[in-house]
Amino acid sequence: MSLTDPIPAPPSPIEAKVKAAAVGAGGSAAVITPAVVWMIDALWFNGDADPSVPLPLVGLVGLVVTGACAFGAGWWAKHTARPDLGRS
């Protein structure tokens, strides 16, 4: 890089909706998904045999719960104004 090269622009900040969706997905995967799997086990499988809830069902529940929580968190997060985009 020489002294005549232009200085690159600083990166844009991460929008609030993206941050909220990431936190919602991580939190739901750590807390809400195990609780939902436990409720499914208690309601329909009654813990009769190990493993009581089939693994494909656990994966599907994790996918649905995490996706729904990420979508909801991103949906309800405040929009970040981006005047630097230059839309007219």
Q: How far apart are CA 54 and CA 60, in angstroms?
A: 10
Burial level of 30, CB count in 10 A (0-12/13-18/19+)? exposed
21 Cβ neighbours under 8 A, 6+ residues apart: 70, 71, 73, 74, 77
Position 86 in a domain: no
Q: Which residues of the chain, if any, have pLDDT below 70?
A: 1, 47-51, 84-88
- Overall domain count for the chain: 1
Query: Which structural domain, as residue segments, surrounds residue 47?
Result: 16-77
pLDDT given at position 75: 94
pLDDT given at position 82: 74
Q: How far apart are CA 75 and CA 18, in angstroms?
A: 10
Q: What is the DSSP string of 22-41?
A: HHHHHHIIIIIHHHHHHHHI
pLDDT given at position 66: 94
pLDDT given at position 61: 93
Position 1 in a domain: no
pTM of the model: 0.73
Position 47 in a domain: yes
